[in-house]
Every structure is written in structure tokens, then in C-alpha cells.
Structure 1
Amino acid sequence: MDLSGLEPANCRPFSVADHYLMERGSEQGKWHRVSLPPEKGATEFITCRICEDISLTRSLCTFVSPFLSRVCYPMDTTLLVFGFRGRSAIGFSEDDLSHVVRPGDVWMVNTGGEALYRYTPAHDLNEMVVIKYATRRIGFVFPQQTRAVLRGDRPWIVRLGYQESNDSWISDLLNNGFTSSLDCLRAEARALDVLARWLRPLTDTVDEARVAPGIDGDPHLEQAIRLLTRDLAATPSLEELSRVLGMSHTRLNRAFKRAFGKTVFSWLRDYRLARARAALKDGHRSITDIAFQCGFSSASHFSQSFKQCYGCTPVEFRSSHKLQEVYCEYGTR
């Protein structure tokens, strides 16, 4: 992944305290504005605690020097991160800021109780919106197969969206005036709906690809799957993967063949197609965006690969799925 301009240069992390997060004791259904100390630059954090287990923060920051923050959430937290302007790198240590949030990106982060680090270069306006869910509230939605891959007991980061129109996802939340208790209920429902729509492709893919049974507790395979699936638009090469895992190409391919009956990148191709197939069920997302997000070089390449695997084009699949939904909705009346 290209991290040019995003390598922390002797930055000392700034610990983000509770009064910036508004996680504890803040009044439900009220917008709060806070800023970092003025010597850090022009910063504004607009935060609302939607309900006991869900909050939202919009950050607008232009730092006078490269800025590294360390955020400690008071509980195990799952984040949906929407990039709007600028770039920031995130990770779970100062030495592993390998996930770059760009405009149009959507990332999911499970903190696993760990601190999250964020690095932002100087002078560029950076805008990001984060919806924060207490993991205890939403953990049940992950089927056992998904938990085996993402390791709910450990921190993980995965990119779910690429070049998205993020306004459409969170504008209802940002524009909510919270003038009544019903507005709080509406915001809670919207936050959960956004989460469900982004989780569906992830959970459906793990189930369809039968990832978890193949892993069967093998730590090398677990790590390989996490590295391959955390960002399908920027996967590591076989050489990079082998180096990180401390295994030769031959041994790694042999492990995948034993677990899944196919080589590393044959497995990855099929996983990409399964992830794209699940994403196509959401009619609000364009086929081109899904293709790039899942790592295909073009929409035509995606369409060709999809038809070879499933016997129909993405357009035909989406049309067929819509007909099935109509039947399910009206056929039993």
C-alpha cells in the first residue's frame, strides 16, 4: 500500500482523553463541539452520543505539524470509519500504521480493547466521520464463521468501501437536530441500518467461501487470510505474504491447497468474487465501485470473471436477486 507522506516522523502520540470522545457521562441526543489545544492547529470534533451503545464523531483538522494520536476507548468498540477529505493512516501501534483512510473509503475497525493510533500529515485539511458501536451490542450479528476469521477476541481492521459517496451514508445522522426523543430513536435505527448494510457482504462472504472450516486453528492460515482480506483493493503479493508469515511460496501454497483445495491466489480470486456477489445484493452501490473495491482492475474484467464463476453477469445477477426479493416480499401474501 502506498504510504508516501504518511510515515510518522518522530511524532509523540497525543492521548485523546474521554472529554474528546464524549463516551462517558455525556448527555444523549446532544451535539458537542470540542477542539484540541490551539497549538496543534485548526481542529474541531463534533460528537453526539446517540444512545447508550452508539456515538458519532465528525472531525475536521488541519495540523500545523504531523500529528499522531492515540485513542483509548473505554470499552471494546467497533468503528465504521468514513473518509471525506485528506488522508490518515490508522493501526494498533506506532509501528504498524498500514491502513490509509482516503476520501470515499469505508473501514471497519474492532479495537479488541486495544488503543487505536491515527497519523495525519501536516497542513492538509482532513475530514472523517466515525460511528462507534459498543461491540457487546453488535457482536451477536457475526456468525461463528465470521468470528473465526476476524477473531473477535483480537483487534482487526478491514476496508469495506472504496470511492463511495459517503454523504449518502451518514447525512441523515449529521443533519439530525435531536429536538425530540423520537429523533434519538431515528438516529439509532439509522446507525444500525448503516452497520447492517456494510456487514452483510462481509458475513455472507465468509459463509459462502467456507473460510473458517479450512483454517481450523492454523495460525499461519489465520494471519494469511487477515492480510489478504483486510483490503481487497491492495492485497500483498505472494512474496510479501510469504515474508511476513516466514514461509516459502511452496509451503504457503501447499497449506492453502490442503485447507481449501486451491492455491493462495486462486482462493483469493474466488473470495473476491464471493465478496462482490454479496455486495451486489445492495442495489444502492454501483457495479464499477464494487469491482474496484474487490480488487478487479476494471468493470469488464470483473464482469468476465463473474460470469465464468457464476454463469451470469453482475447485471444479470442483480436483476435476478431483485426479482427474488420481490417474490419474497409479495409472494406469501
Structure 2
Amino acid sequence: MSVEIQTPYSCDLGNGLSISLKECHLSQNWHSVFTGVKDFIGCTFCLDGSLTTQIQHEPPTIHINKGTSGIWYAPDTLIHVSMKPGHIRWLDIEISFQHFVQLIKDNQHEFCPEFLASLKKNPAKPFHRTGTMDAQTLQSVEQIITCPFHGPLKRIHQKSNCLSLLLKEIRHHALLSSPEQCQGCANCPKMEQAKALLLRDLGKAPTISGLASELGMSESSLKRAFRKSFGMSIYAYFQSHRLRQAKKLLSQGEMNVTEVAFSVGFSNHSHFSRAFKRQFGIPPKNMLSHSENTFS
């Protein structure tokens, strides 16, 4: 079965950096094999749907679901990709090999050996690491998709966000381990529990003291561990999540702005509008007439 992959938006941002939003609609299972490009290092952010990849010389199958991001470089390497029926949408950021090597030349000692080995363009040493996007990453991706600017200002906005996302993926997946990384942190299971408790009722944010009590932690330990796990404060995470939920409801067009604001816990319409525009760059009323995929 042939699949038409649509590209609603793409842009060459200069200095070897490019961005593209891609999507496809599948009515049945699909599988394909292609060869990894040696001239680009890429980052992928899965926004809807799921897929699996199997890279030659790397036995584990990689599952990429909604909310997953990662960095990859697989020069001249066979890559098997499988997709299930449904709507699949993802954002790709690519930087040319030449520009990337120039970018990191003074910091190569900070990169993990596996990534440096792949940069020697050895097909037997591909690199592909993925993880769950945190709230800040999701917010940056949203800002790219809903960019309110035009012309040169839009280019600056997109390039700034793309470089920020690229550097974040590098920091999370390609650098040597550092004490600040959350992997293996004893509080990770508790932080997942904290997130679930925080988001169980968007109409009423729990108090930090209440969360700490339910988790059996001190307030200061909870705040430190939460920021370490999710990259922002408890309140900022709660606020970002309910605004993303509001954006989803507005894009469906079944509720007006006031109804959506109340449904996600905002009692003040003006406060909601200011917070929404601050996070997404556009007023909430704009979402009623434009789908999430619309680009100016």
C-alpha cells in the first residue's frame, strides 16, 4: 500500500537548519524500509498517533507514540518503519551534518561515545534515542505550529524555537550523564504520581501542602523533585497543561471561549485570554475559526 505523507508546513531556516510538519492518514497497517541520510542529524516530535522503527544493527524495536521526541543519526543505514491505521502527525527538525559538527566542535568531550561514533558516518554505529516530551518541549512545539508572525519575524521565531528544541534533545539524549539528569532518580515514580494527582481535576488545583501530604514528602522536597523531573514548577506545569487542554477544546469548535475557560478552571475570561496568548502567541478566539494545523 502506498502512503501519501503530507507536509502542511516546511521552512528552510538557514545555516543548515530546516523544519517540517508531516502527517498521514492510514486505513490499514503500513510498513516501509528506507536508508538513513548521512547529511543530516534529525529530531522528531510525535504529536498524534504512533509508529515503530527498527534500525539496522540495533536489535530493539523503538516505539514512538504521541508525546515522544528523540534525536537520530543513522547514515546509510536501513530503517524499517511500521505504522498502524489512524492519523499520524509529527514535527521534524533537521540540521546539516557540516553545520552540526561545527556547532559542537568545542564540546565534543561532553558527548556520549555512542553519539560520537555515529558522527564518523559508520553505518554500523547508528544513533537513535527517544523519551517523553516534558511540558516545556510541548510548549515550544505548540509555539512553532501556531506561530502568529509573518515574514522575517516569523523566521526568527521559528529558528529560535527550533534551536532551543535541538539543544534540549541533545542535552537529554546525547550528552554524558550528569547529576542533574533525572534518569534513575528515586523520586521518579512519585513524580508520576504527583502529576496524576495534580491533573485529576483541572477545575481545582491542589495545594502544594496537600500534594506533599498525599505523597509523604516535605513541600520543599516535592517542589525540587517536580522541577527536576518536569523542568518547571508545579504551578507552571498545571497551568501549561490546562491551557493545552483548552486549545484542544477550542480547535474542536464545539464550545465558545467562555465555556472552554470555565471547563479548564478559569473563572476570569480576561485572565484566561491573557494566559492563552502568552503560551501560544494567539488569542483563544482565533482557535475557533482555524484548526490546529492551519499555517499563515
1:58 aligns with 2:21: yes
TM-score (norm 1): 0.47
Matches of 1:99 and 1:164, distance apart in 2: 22
Percent of aligned pairs with the same amino acid: 8
* Structure 1 residues 176 and 164: alpha-carbon distance in aligned structure 2, compared to 1, 3 A threshold: closer
Matches of 1:75 and 1:187, distance apart in 2: 24
Contact 2:130 2:173 survives alignment (8 Å): no
1:152 aligns with 2:115: no
Which of 266, 273, 288 does residue 192 from structure 2 map onto? Answer: 288
* Structure 1 residues 202 and 127: alpha-carbon distance in aligned structure 2, compared to 1, 3 A threshold: closer
Deviation (angstroms), 1:272: 2.0
Please state whether the residue corresponding to 1:40 is helix, strand or coil: coil
* Structure 1 residues 79 and 319: alpha-carbon distance in aligned structure 2, compared to 1, 3 A threshold: closer
Q: Which residue of structure 2 lines up, in the alignment, with residue 194 of structure 1?
A: 165
Contact 1:60 1:126 survives alignment (8 Å): yes
Q: Which residue of structure 1 lines up, in the alignment, with residue 239 of structure 2?
A: none
* Structure 1 residues 98 and 85: alpha-carbon distance in aligned structure 2, compared to 1, 3 A threshold: same
* Structure 1 residues 196 and 49: alpha-carbon distance in aligned structure 2, compared to 1, 3 A threshold: same
Deviation (angstroms), 1:98: 0.5
Please state whether the residue corresponding to 1:125 is helix, strand or coil: strand
Please state whether the residue corresponding to 2:185 is helix, strand or coil: helix
Q: Report which structure shows greater RCO (CA 8 Å, sep ≥6).
A: 2
Deviation (angstroms), 1:99: 0.5
Matches of 1:157 and 1:183, distance apart in 2: 30
Partner amino acid, structure 1, of 2:192: T
Describe how 1:128-139 pairs up with structure 2 within 5 A: 128-139=90-101
Partner amino acid, structure 2, of 1:117: H
Matches of 1:62 and 1:158, distance apart in 2: 26
TM-score (norm 2): 0.52
Q: Which residue of structure 2 lines up, in the alignment, with residue 44 of structure 1?
A: 6
Unpaired stretches in structure 1, ≥5 consecutive residues: 1-38, 210-231, 233-269, 277-285, 293-298, 323-333
1:120 aligns with 2:83: yes
Matches of 2:159 and 2:194, distance apart in 1: 27
Q: Which residue of structure 1 lines up, in the alignment, with residue 154 of structure 2?
A: 183
Q: Which residue of structure 2 lines up, in the alignment, with residue 206 of structure 1?
A: 177
What root-mean-square deviation, in Å, do the aligned CA atoms of Structure 1 and Structure 2 show?
A: 4.4
Partner amino acid, structure 2, of 1:135: F
1:316 aligns with 2:224: yes
Query: How many aligned positions are there?
Result: 202
Give CA deviations for 1:198-220 in whole Å, capped at 9, x if unaligned.
Answer: 333446652449xxxxxxxxxxx
Please state whether the residue corresponding to 1:91 is helix, strand or coil: strand
Unpaired stretches in structure 2, ≥5 consecutive residues: 120-124, 197-210, 233-296
Give CA deviations for 1:218-261 in whole Å, capped at 9, x if unaligned.
Answer: xxxxxxxxxxxxxx9xxxxxxxxxxxxxxxxxxxxxxxxxxxxx
* Structure 1 residues 125 and 94: alpha-carbon distance in aligned structure 2, compared to 1, 3 A threshold: farther
Partner amino acid, structure 1, of 2:63: V
Give CA deviations for 1:78-122 in whole Å, capped at 9, x if unaligned.
Answer: 22211122210123249957011111111221223435432112x
Give CA deviations for 1:254-289 in whole Å, capped at 9, x if unaligned.
Answer: xxxxxxxxxxxxxxxx95239x7xxxxxxxxx9539
Contact 2:110 2:176 survives alignment (8 Å): no
Matches of 1:289 and 1:77, distance apart in 2: 38
Partner amino acid, structure 2, of 1:101: I
* Structure 1 residues 44 and 71: alpha-carbon distance in aligned structure 2, compared to 1, 3 A threshold: same
Matches of 1:133 and 1:106, distance apart in 2: 16
Give CA deviations for 1:138-170 in whole Å, capped at 9, x if unaligned.
Answer: 344454242414333331111132576864231
Contact 1:145 1:207 survives alignment (8 Å): no
Please state whether the residue corresponding to 2:118 is helix, strand or coil: coil
Contact 1:162 1:289 survives alignment (8 Å): no
Q: Which residue of structure 2 lines up, in the alignment, with residue 91 of structure 1?
A: 54
Q: Which residue of structure 2 lines up, in the alignment, with residue 67 of structure 1?
A: 30
Please state whether the residue corresponding to 1:273 is helix, strand or coil: coil
Which of 166, 174, 184 does residue 272 from structure 1 map onto? Answer: 184
Which of 66, 76, 80 does residue 39 from structure 2 map onto? Answer: 76
Matches of 1:290 and 1:75, distance apart in 2: 42
